[in-house]
Amino acid sequence: MFNEEAQMMDLDEIRELQEKRLKKQVKYAYENVPMYKKRFKEEGVKPSDVKKLEDVKKVPFTVKDDLRDHYPYGILAVPKEEVIRFHASSGTTGTPTVVAYNRKDMEVWGDLMARAYSSAGVKPEYTVQNAYGYGLFTGGLGFHQGAEVLGCSVLPTSTGNTKKQVTMLNDFQTEVLACTPSYAIYLSEAAEKHGYDPKEDFNLKVGMFGAEPWSEEARESIEEAFGLKAQDTYGMSELYGPGVAIECPEQNGLHIWSDQFLVETIDPKTGEVLPEGETGELVFTMLTREAMPLLRYRTKDVGSVTYEECECGRAHPRIEKIEGRSDDMLIVGGVNVFPSQVEAALLETEGISEHYQIIVDRDVLDKLFVRAEVDKDHYESEEYDEEKLKEEASENLKAVLNIKARLKLLEPGTLPRTVGKAKRVIDQREEQDRIEDL
Ligand code: ADP
Ligand code: ZN
């Protein structure tokens, strides 16, 4: 096991280390980042007020706009000469936010990613086909570095060129595939199209999937298609990148590497800290990052944290599979809808594929439309009955969402495929170029 000492720390050790690091990091951020000094002063807090772990509550929050407002270098705590890497978020939800790393930060990140591979069951002798995008996005280089630190060989295929990806999966008999779950699904389709049986012809054992929400049902179909173990990984560029939390083989939540991250769950409206197990906005304090410390960073991601023991023996607390972020949440007719709920309801229906789109539109009232492709095998089979399938899927949607969604079934291969994060939601309540075929 890679860095067994860190992976297998017991909870008391974790807490003790967190407390020590928290005190040090709060002082460090205060002294080296003018934004933090100002914020502390405004709120009447001194670094010395943080004596115990619980005192983290006194520390002011940091939000995404703080990073944007200080674009590009504003939160640096070290001279720029010390920085060896910049990344930026993919900007899914607006202006990109820049993050910086010094040499020590890169080492920590590499260690976290190597732990991620190792706890997912990846062995140093495996080859990792890394189909996350290389570039400003942290996915590509993050998964790359971690694999090297563990001692794997890396095929840095990056995203795109799907035919070549498929050929390489076959020719290299790659053991590990790293990419977004939506791209994994696309790859399995493409493999079949090019005459391969992904389960028989390829040698994939582990999939390192993440960077976007995906359902248990999507996991099942990916595992089934490739005959691999599909592991969820969570992270974001602001917190190094991928590697913040990872599933162990138990697949019952994602362990947060808590020697490096202190996690809290808060009520997004009041900012109040929620008790263990309650669902709220996840807030992370980076306990050692030097180039760009972040204290109580509000992620907007929605989840819950448990400290219950895991069968695998790791005491690092776990977050439930992330449902989505609060800005992904749609409010349709006053009801909250997460795209991941729609996905789960669709995939529960035998005969519906993983390719779908959610469209919110309005005439007088808000309306939810779902367009989903029929699964290719089902579409070609004798038993395919469009009306019946539509009715069944609509019922499943209604049961999960508590509101009526109008469903349209599409032929296989109709919707656009993505090589990175899938764009599932189109909110055309205010848009001019609308999709009319609903
Ligand atoms: P951007 O915010 O521009 O998309 P990132 O690439 O840093 O930039 O994306 C991080 C976000 O991606 C997280 O905040 C979270 O919403 C989402 N994400 C990452 N990993 C997962 C995962 N395993 N499950 C669900 N959502 C994830
Ligand atoms: Zn575990």
Contact 181, 209 (CB under 8 A): yes
Q: Is the CB of 231 under 6 A from ligand 1?
A: no
Torsion of CA 198, 204, 208, 212, to 10 degrees: 0
- CA 28 / ligand 2 centre spacing (Å): 32
Q: Is the CB of 91 under 6 A from ligand 1?
A: yes
Contact 332, 367 (CB under 8 A): yes
Q: Which residues of 345-369 are buried (b: 16+ CB within 10 A; e: fewer)?
A: bbbbbebbbbbbbbbbbeeeebbbb
CATH of 1-327, one of 3.40.50.12780, 3.30.1600.10, 3.40.50.300, 3.40.1280.10: 3.40.50.12780
Contact 226, 207 (CB under 8 A): yes
Going residue by residue through the chain, which has 438 residues, state the pLDDT in tens, using 9 for 90 and above: 999 999 999 999 999 999 999 999 999 999 999 999 999 999 999 999 999 999 999 999 999 999 989 988 889 999 999 999 999 985 655 677 899 999 999 999 999 999 999 999 999 999 999 999 999 999 999 999 999 999 999 999 999 899 999 999 999 999 999 999 999 999 999 999 999 999 999 999 999 999 998 989 899 999 999 999 999 999 999 999 999 999 999 999 999 999 999 999 999 999 999 999 999 999 999 999 999 999 999 999 999 999 999 999 999 999 987 877 877 788 887 788 888 889 989 999 999 999 999 998 877 676 899 999 999 999 999 999 999 999 999 999 998 888 888 999 999 999 999 888 888 888 888 766 777 777
Which long-range contacts (C-beta less than 8 Å, at least 24 apart) are formed by 335-340?
335/401, 335/402, 335/403, 337/368, 337/401, 337/403, 338/213, 338/302, 339/213, 339/424, 339/425, 340/213, 340/214, 340/215
337: left (phi over 0), alpha (psi -120 to 50) or beta: beta
Q: Do domains 1-327 and 330-427 have the same CATH topology?
A: no
Which long-range contacts (C-beta less than 8 Å, at least 24 apart) are formed by 246-249?
246/115, 246/116, 246/119, 246/120, 247/119, 247/120, 248/119, 248/120, 248/310, 248/312, 248/314, 249/119, 249/120, 249/121, 249/312
How open is the CA angle 12-294-328, to the nearest 5 degrees?
100
Q: What is the CATH number of domain 330-427?
A: 3.30.300.30
Confidence at residue 2, expressed as pLDDT on a 0 to 100 scale: 98
Residue-range domain boundaries for the chain: 1-327, 330-427
Enter the pTM of the model: 0.89
- Cis-peptide into 72, omega within 30 deg: yes
CA nearest neighbour of 224 among 34, 377, 402: 377
Ligand 1 atom nearest to 96, measured from its CA? 3
Residue 259 in tokens: 């020697």
Considering every ligand atom, which ligand is closest to the CA of 252?
2
Confidence at residue 226, expressed as pLDDT on a 0 to 100 scale: 98
Q: Is the CB of 420 under 6 A from ligand 1?
A: no
> Hey, whose CA ends up nearest to atom 14 of ligand 1?
236
Q: Is the CB of 212 under 6 A from ligand 1?
A: yes
- CA 265 / ligand 2 centre spacing (Å): 20
Going across the sheet that includes 229-236, the strands are 153-155, 127-130, 176-179, 206-210, 229-236, 241-247, 254-256, 318-319, 305-306
In a 13 Å sphere around the CA of 285, the CA atoms on its Cβ side amount to 26
Length of the chain: 438
> DSSP letter at 212?
S
* 181-193 and 162-171 helices, crossing angle to 10°: 80
Contact 202, 169 (CB under 8 A): yes
Contact 119, 243 (CB under 8 A): no
Residue 408 in tokens: 């349209």
Pairing of strands 366-374, 405-410: parallel
Residue 78 in tokens: 């070290």
Ligand 1 atom nearest to 139, measured from its CA? 6
Determine whether 60 is exposed, middle or buried from the number of CB atoms within 10 Å of its CB (0-12, 13-18, 19+): middle
Residue 359 in tokens: 């469209």
Considering every ligand atom, which ligand is closest to the CA of 64?
1
